[in-house]
Amino acid sequence: MTSNPTQTDVTVSETKDPATLDVSVGPQHPGSGHVRILMRVDGDYIVSIDPDIGYVHRGCEKIAENRNYVSNIPHLERPCIIDAIHLNWAYVLPVEELQGVQVPPRGRYISTIAAEMNRIMSHLYWLAINAGVFSGHTTIFMWAFGDRDLFIELAEMLTGARLTYSFLPPGGPRRDLPFGFEDKLTKLLDYFEKRLIEYDRIFFSNPLVVARAKGIGILTKEDAIKLGVAGPVLRGSGVKYDIRKVEPYGAYPDLEFTIPTFEEGDSYARFLVRFEEMKQSISILRQALKKIPQGPIARKAPLVAPEGEAIGRVESSRGECAVMVMGDNSDKPYRVRVMNGSFRNLVAMPYLIRNVHIADMPIIYGSLDYWPVEADR
Amino acid sequence: MSQSSLSREEGIVNKFKSRFTESVKETKIDRARRITVTCDKDHILEIAKFTRDEIAFDHIIGICGVDFPTHKKLEVLHFLGSVTNPDMHGIILILKTELPKENPSIASVVSVWESAHFHERETFEMFGINFEGHPDLRKLLTLDNWEGPPPMLKDLKFPEMSQR
């Protein structure tokens, strides 16, 4: 802790060459959320960057030590507001493990349906802002945001809220599938599957997008593993690793899906991973609607958790989200630690955004799908 | 989870037991896919290198500090995962280290796992733990004008914090 820290304590680590210039990108919302990226540029080239995060830090983990297990849910899912189900689920899994509560099969299916809808919504948000706007493609911004709203309306029908659902307290989801939900979701998936073909034609196969993203920001397989990146960034570098497969939770053991991976490791490969994941989510949702069993949706969970620690993790839209909860026989956790995809992928940012044109920076930043609030917590 | 399915976890625990006698104090299989290894803080680098090179735990999922004011100690937990070795998929290996409350200090594992960089910076800032040998140990998340004690320590109570 420096006694009187000023802005100068944020520096690019290498020694400064007089020909270079330091430029601050942000913290006024350079795209998705508040982050400052301190760039050192030499003409049109970025020499190095230093991500300065923490502008939206709100001390989630400290707050969690002062709230009971249930009232922790709303604020722990806020860090990634467009991916709330996954953050909620990652927190609830260890709490349920500590309390010894088993969610009934129907409850696990409903959670899975909500989570996969959330994955599509989150990827559509990424497609609109981080891929569309950052590459100057206004059409895909409008299309993806428009289609995302159809999913949001269905999520509202299921959970009662558009974005911040607080849908999964310990023990199982809050509500059963509402009347007519299956039909609406089936119709929406049929529509969305056709839309994905149009997305491919206007965006993913668009020569302008390919020219801007292909070969830019290459993260090799070895580096991806060494840097410990997670989620679509890892799979875009050719590593087949998905928490839904290696540590199945919810209804995923019963459902068939593949893990899309691409060997290239460039920004375009990371674009395509998310595109293919949306197709897989459609298939998962269809299977889940077909296979969902009858029965109770939730069990009653105690308000206290015994002494001990448990880690739960889910594959969120931005990669592995692991939460450790430490109980101490009271109704409040002793310690909660949230380890999520955005914070892990942050280490790849200074690694990828160097020796590139300034114009390539938004593409690389967008391809990481970095969500500043999730990283800051 | 049946007993035979714990063979992967037992294999890892046995490797630790046969390699380290003094520096690993305790090994415990919490449940399937979760192993806790309590280490001596002076040998953390040696254990980290062994964990990476011999049993292929290639990345850090997170680093967590925990404050125990009644025992006058801090704990540092390194959560490790493996993507290169399919046999280790899904296992979280936890290296647990105890530190004294006064001037807590531990060797940085950035030289072993580059992914530890930001996690160690955060733990340094939130718990005041000095990671020796970290290339760039600066504050990360708190405000530039934050002058209080490390915020995640238990002595810092919530109402006082919100009044700042």
Peptide bond into A27 cis (omega under 30): yes
Q: Is B95 on the interface with A (CB under 8 A)?
A: no
The residue in chain A having the minimum alpha-carbon distance to the alpha carbon of residue B159 is: A66
**Predicted local confidence at residue B3, as pLDDT:** 46
Per the listing, tokens 């594959």 go with A315
Residues 6 or more apart whose CB falls under 8 angstroms from that of A346 comprise A51, A53, A370, A375, B118
| Own/partner long-range contacts of B12-17 (Cβ < 8 Å, ≥24 apart) | B12/B55, B12/B88, B12/B91, B12/B93, B15/B54, B15/B55
Burial label for A5, CB within 10 Å (0-12, 13-18, 19+), is middle
- For residue B132, count other CB atoms closer than 10 A to its CB: 10
Set of chain A residues whose Cβ sits within 8 Å of the Cβ of B29: none
Residues 6 or more apart whose CB falls under 8 angstroms from that of B98 comprise B38, B41, B73, B74, B75
User: Do A1 and B136 make contact, defined as CB atoms within 8 angstroms?
Assistant: no
Nearest by CB: A53 against B59, B140, B152: B140
Two tokens, residue B107: 């060797």
pLDDT digit string, tens, across residues A212-262: 888 888 999 988 988 889 999 999 998 989 999 888 998 999 999 999 999
Q: Is B152 on the interface with A (CB under 8 A)?
A: yes
With the C-alpha atoms ordered B27, B30, B33, B38, is the resulting torsion angle positive or negative?
A: negative
**Predicted local confidence at residue B63, as pLDDT:** 92
Specify the CATH architecture of the domain B3-159: 2-Layer Sandwich (3.30)
- By DSSP bridging, strand A45-52 and strand B73-81 are unpaired
Select from B64, B67, B161 the residue whose CB has the most chain A CBs within 10 Å, as the one to mutate to test that interface. B64
Q: Is B74 on the interface with A (CB under 8 A)?
A: no
User: Do B113 and A343 make contact, defined as CB atoms within 8 angstroms?
Assistant: no
Helices of type H across chain A: 60-64, 72-77, 84-99, 105-125, 138-159, 181-199, 207-213, 221-227, 232-235, 243-246, 267-291, 341-345, 348-352, 361-368, 372-376
DSSP for B68-95, written as a single string: EGGGTEEEEEEEEE-SS-GGGTT-EEEE
Set of chain A residues whose Cβ sits within 8 Å of the Cβ of B114: 226-228, 347
3-state secondary structure of A181: helix
Average pLDDT, chain A: 88
d(CA B21, CA A370): 43
Two tokens, residue B105: 């200090």
Q: Is B87 on the interface with A (CB under 8 A)?
A: no
Nearest by CB: B58 against A54, A57, A225: A225
Nearest alpha-carbon partner for A216 in A41, A358, A364: A364
**Predicted local confidence at residue B24, as pLDDT:** 78
Question: Residue A114 phi/psi, 5° resolution?
Answer: -60, -40
Nearest alpha-carbon partner for A310 in A17, A96, A141: A96
**Predicted local confidence at residue A93, as pLDDT:** 92
Instruction: Evaluate if residue A26 carries a pLDDT over 60.
Output: yes
* Residues of A (38-77) whose Cβ lies below 8 Å from B: 53-54, 57, 59, 61-63, 65-66
With the C-alpha atoms ordered A74, A75, A80, A82, is the resulting torsion angle positive or negative?
A: positive
d(CA B95, CA B90): 16
CA distance A339 to chain B (A): 6
Beta strand extents in chain B (DSSP E only): 24-31, 34-39, 59-68, 73-81, 92-100, 105-107, 130-132
User: Do A247 and B90 make contact, defined as CB atoms within 8 angstroms?
Assistant: yes
Set of chain B residues whose Cβ sits within 8 Å of the Cβ of A246: 89-90
- For residue A179, count other CB atoms closer than 10 A to its CB: 8
User: Do B144 and A239 make contact, defined as CB atoms within 8 angstroms?
Assistant: no
Nearest by CB: A225 against B30, B83, B145: B83
- Each residue's pLDDT, cut to its tens digit, for chain B (164 residues) gives 444 578 888 888 888 888 887 777 888 888 888 888 888 888 888 888 888 888 888 889 999 999 998 888 899 999 999 888 888 888 899 999 999 988 888 999 988 888 888 999 999 988 989 988 888 888 888 887 877 788 888 887 766 555 44
**Predicted local confidence at residue A16, as pLDDT:** 67
User: Do A62 and B152 make contact, defined as CB atoms within 8 angstroms?
Assistant: yes
Q: Regarding predicted confidence, which is higher, A280 or A9?
A: A280
Q: Where are the domains of chain B?
A: 3-159
Q: Where are the domains of chain A?
A: 60-376
Helix (H) or strand (E) holding B52: helix B44-53
User: Do A320 and B92 make contact, defined as CB atoms within 8 angstroms?
Assistant: no
Nearest by CB: B136 against A13, A234, A344: A13
Nearest by CB: B144 against A7, A227, A229: A7
Average pLDDT over residues A84-98: 92
**Predicted local confidence at residue B43, as pLDDT:** 87
**Predicted local confidence at residue B27, as pLDDT:** 81
Question: Residue A31 — pLDDT band, cuts 50, 70, 90?
Answer: low
CA distance A161 to chain B (A): 29
pLDDT digit string, tens, across residues A254-279: 999 999 999 988 999 999 999 999 99
- For residue A285, count other CB atoms closer than 10 A to its CB: 23
pLDDT digit string, tens, across residues A292-328: 999 899 888 888 889 889 999 999 999 899 999 999 8
Instruction: Evaluate if residue A138 carries a pLDDT over 90.
Output: no
Q: What CATH number does the domain located at A60-376 have?
A: 1.10.645.10
Per the listing, tokens 């302008």 go with A208
Per the listing, tokens 């899912």 go with A77
Nearest alpha-carbon partner for A293 in A256, A258, A254: A254
Instruction: Evaluate if residue A1 carries a pLDDT over 50.
Output: no
Q: Is A346 on the interface with B (CB under 8 A)?
A: yes
User: For residues B67 and B152, is the Cβ–Cβ distance under 8 A?
Assistant: yes
User: Do B144 and A5 make contact, defined as CB atoms within 8 angstroms?
Assistant: yes
Q: Is A370 on the interface with B (CB under 8 A)?
A: no
**Predicted local confidence at residue A30, as pLDDT:** 61
d(CA A355, CA A273): 25
Q: Regarding predicted confidence, which is higher, B10 or A122?
A: A122
Residues 6 or more apart whose CB falls under 8 angstroms from that of A144 comprise A124, A125, A127, A128, A132, A199
